[in-house]
Amino acid sequence: MNMLNHGFFRVAAAIPKVKVADCRFNIEQIKGLIREAVENKVEIVCFPELSVTAYTCADLFFQKTLTQEAEKAVERLKKETEEWPVTFIIGAPVEHNSKRYNCAVVCREGEIYGIVPKVYLPNYSEFYEKRWFEPYPLDVPAIDINYAGDTVAFGANLLFNFDEVKFAVEICEDVWSVIPPSSYHAMAGAQAIFNLSASDELIGKQHYVKSLISQQSARCQAAYIYAAAGFGESSTDLVYAGNAYIYENGRLLAESERFQLEEQLIINEIDLELLDAERKKNTTFISRPVIDNYREIVIYKEDKDEPYYSEVYRAINPAPFIPVAKNYNESCEEIFSIQVSGLAKRLVHTNVKSLVVGISGGLDSTLALLVCVKTIDKLGLPREMIHGITMPGFGTTQRTRMNALYLMDALCITSREISIVTACEQHFRDIGHNPSVHDVTYENVQARERTQILMDIANQTNGLVVGTGDLSELALGWATYNGDHMSMYAVNTGIPKTLVRHLVRWVAENQMDDSARTTLLDILETPVSPELLPVDSGGQMTQFTEDVVGPYELHDFFLFYTLRYGFSPAKIAFLARQAFINVYDNEVILKWMDVFYRRFFSQQFKRSCMPDGPKVGSVNLSPRGDWRMPSDASPESWLHLLRELRIATV
C-alpha cells in the first residue's frame, strides 16, 4: 500500500433504494452510489445482501427470469464501470449445477474477481432462505464457474488481496453463527471483513446487531464493514431500515441514519497500521488459517499513485487518554478505584502506620493526596495516618502554599510545613555552588532536599512515601533523578498529565465537600510549574513547565500513538494536524515532537528504576511489565524522519 496515506484505506458501505425484482432499476441505483464512491476516493464499497434483485423476492427466486436478469444486470454493471477505479461488492442470486446460491460478487474495473456464497442460511419464522437457496460450506474448496461473461472463482473461502490489503466476505446470517466464517477469514490473514446483510427491524435489535459486529471486529482485530437492506424492500411483513456500520477493532467509526427514504453512502478509513500493531501485540491471535484451502485472489490495480489523503473522515481525538463523554463518570471512577486499590494492597502488605506525601499545591500531588484519603477511608482507618508535608522553597508562591495548607486542613489529615530554604542554602555552601546561578544544580538541590525530608519522616512515622509523579513526566524525564523521581509507591505512574486534571475535577465534583472542592477548583486553575526558580518581585511564579517542554496535550498525544501502536513520526504528525486543527500549526507540532523524541530516548534511565505503581490504561512505562527499552538507545532514526518532514512541508 502507498504509505503516503499513512496506512489508511478508504472503504464505504452503500445503501441503495431498490425495487423488488426490478434488476434494471436496482443496478442504476447501485451504479450511482459506485460513482459517488469514486468521487470520494473510496477503494472498496460494499452493498447489501441480494441488492441486485432486492432481498424480499421470496418465491420469485424460483423464477428463471429473475436469476437471468440479475446475471445480465451484473454483466452490464461491470462493463459500465470498467473505467472507474473502485472495487465494489454487490449481492445477487447465482445458479450453478441446478442449485441457487445467495452470493456476494466482487468486481473491479470491468472484471469479476470472485463470488462468495452464503454459508449459513436462516430458516425460521421471518426467513425461509433454505426454501430458495443452498448453503455452501466453508471447508469446501473453491471452484471456477462461468458467470456474467467471466470464468470466476466461486467459494466461501476466498481471500482477496487488493494493493496488499487482504479482505474477505461473509453474508448476513454468517456473523450470527457460533463460529462465523469471518473468524476463519481473519486467521487466514483478512484485515477487513465485508458483510452484505438484509436484517429486518425489531425493537431493540439494532443494539444487539451493533454489539455483535463490534465484538466480532474486536475478536478478529479487523475492520468490519456492514451494509444492510433499506428502503424499497417489501414491507409485506417486515421493515428494513438500511443499517450500515464501519467498525475497526471493535470501535464504531461511522454509521448510517436509519429509516431513510434516500440512498446513503457511509465512508471512513481503515487504519491498517493500527490493526497490524494490535495483531502483533496479541500473542493469542492466530495468524495462520485453520482451514487450509483458502484461495487468495489478487485484484489487479493500475500502477499509479493513490490519492493523498490530506485528511480522513474519522475524527481524531486530541485527548486519547481522556474517557469519552458517554462513559466519563464510570471511567473516572474506575481509574480512581484502580489507584486506590493498588495503594490499599501496598499499605496492607507492608503494615505501615502512615502514608507520607509531599503536597505542593499542584495537580499531581493533589491527585496523590486524594488517592491516599480514599484509600484510608476504604480501609476504615483514621485520616490522621496520612502525613501531608508541604515544603516551600525559593519558587513557592503564596497561592500554591496556601492551597496546600487549605487542602490538607479540609481533608483532616496530619499536616506539616517544613521550609527547605535554609537547608538548601547550607547545601549550596557545602558543595560550593553560587545560589545566584539558577541552573540544574540549583533546581535539583531543592527536589532532592524535599525527597530526603519525605523519606526521613516516613522513617520517623513507620510510613511509606507515596509518589506524585505522573506518566507524562516519566515519558519526558521531567523529574529529578533520585529526587521527586523516587518514592516507595507511585500512585500516579499510569496517569498522564491531561488525565490528572480530569480526575482531580471529577473527585472534586463527586466526592468532596464544599470546603475541599473550592480549594481543588483553584488548584485546577493554577499553571503547571515545579516552582524551583525564585518568584518575581510581586511574588508570582516565573517558571512554567509547558514553556520549557511544550504543551502536555501534544506530548500525551505523541506518547499514546508512539507506545500504543508504534506509529511513525510522519503518521503521528498527520494525525496531530487533524486532531489539533486551528490549535497548533504543522511547524509547532514538529517542534514539540522533536523535543518529545529527544527527551523520551535520553530519559529512559529514570524509567529503568522507577518505583512500583498501578497500571491504569493500555499505555504504561513500567520496565517490569510494559516498556523495556535500553537506556542508551539512539533517537536518530526518528529525528531523521522529522527532519525529512520539515523539508517536505517547507
Cα dihedral angle (424, 429, 430, 435), rounded to 10 degrees?
A: 50
- 147: how many CB neighbours lie within 10 A of its CB? 20
Please say if 49 is a catalytic residue. Answer: yes
Please say if 172 is a catalytic residue. Answer: yes
pLDDT per position as a tens digit, 248-300? 999 999 999 988 889 999 999 999 999 999 999 888 887 776 777 899 999 98
Do 359 and 286 have their domain in common? Answer: no
d(CA 157, CA 190): 11
CATH number at residue 86: 3.60.110.10
| In a domain? residue 318 | no
Relative to beta strand 127-128, strand 123-124 is: antiparallel
Lowest-confidence segment of 39-43, 258-262, 557-561 by average pLDDT: 258-262
Do 399 and 280 have their domain in common? Answer: no
Domain of 187, in residue numbers: 10-299
Do 426 and 463 have their domain in common? Answer: yes
d(CA 42, CA 272): 15
Q: Per-residue pLDDT averaged across 185-204, rounded?
A: 92
Do 446 and 349 have their domain in common? Answer: yes
| In a domain? residue 314 | no
Q: Per-residue pLDDT averaged across 103-120, rounded?
A: 97
d(CA 31, CA 14): 11
- The answer, yes or no, to whether residue 3 has pLDDT greater than 60, is no
pLDDT per position as a tens digit, 81-99? 999 999 999 999 999 999 9
Task: State the chain's mean pLDDT as an integer.
Answer: 94
| In a domain? residue 57 | yes
Name the nearest CA neighbour of 455 among 387, 511, 517.
387
| In a domain? residue 3 | no
Do 253 and 330 have their domain in common? Answer: no
Of 43, 49, 173, 263, which residue is the catalytic one? Answer: 49
Do 294 and 338 have their domain in common? Answer: no
First to last CA, the chain: 26
Q: Per-residue pLDDT averaged across 448-464, rounded?
A: 98
Do 285 and 355 have their domain in common? Answer: no
CATH number at residue 512: 3.40.50.620
Of 23, 57, 172, 332, which residue is the catalytic one? Answer: 172
Decide which of 264, 299, 334 is a domain's last residue. Answer: 299
| In a domain? residue 1 | no
- Categorize the per-residue pLDDT at 303 as very low, low, confident or very high, splitting at 50, 70 and 90: low
Q: Per-residue pLDDT averaged across 61-79, rounded?
A: 96
Q: Which residues contact 44 (CB under 8 A, 6 or more apart)?
A: 9, 11, 12, 86, 87, 88, 89, 162, 167, 192, 194, 225
Do 365 and 289 have their domain in common? Answer: no
- The answer, yes or no, to whether residue 150 has pLDDT greater than 80, is yes
Please say if 609 is a catalytic residue. Answer: no
Angle at which helix 398-410 crosses helix 514-524, to 10 degrees, equals 150
| In a domain? residue 310 | no
Residue type, 340: V
pLDDT per position as a tens digit, 612-641? 999 999 999 999 989 999 999 999 999 999
- The answer, yes or no, to whether residue 324 has pLDDT greater than 70, is yes
Of 17, 78, 118, 166, which residue is the catalytic one? Answer: 118
| In a domain? residue 513 | yes
- Categorize the per-residue pLDDT at 164 as very low, low, confident or very high, splitting at 50, 70 and 90: confident
Do 277 and 332 have their domain in common? Answer: no
Q: Which residues contact 269 (CB under 8 A, 6 or more apart)?
A: 8, 9, 10, 11, 253, 309, 312, 313, 314
d(CA 307, CA 309): 6
- Categorize the per-residue pLDDT at 413 as very low, low, confident or very high, splitting at 50, 70 and 90: very high
- The answer, yes or no, to whether residue 233 has pLDDT greater than 70, is yes
Do 338 and 193 have their domain in common? Answer: no
Residue type, 423: A
The predicted structure's pLDDT at residue 306:
62
| In a domain? residue 306 | no
Decide which of 256, 284, 299 is a domain's last residue. Answer: 299
Do 335 and 271 have their domain in common? Answer: no
d(CA 391, CA 518): 22
Give the percent of the chain with pLDDT over 70. 97
Do 332 and 367 have their domain in common? Answer: yes
Number of domains in the chain: 2
- Are 403 and 361 contacting, i.e. CB atoms less than 8 angstroms apart? yes
- Are 135 and 121 contacting, i.e. CB atoms less than 8 angstroms apart? yes
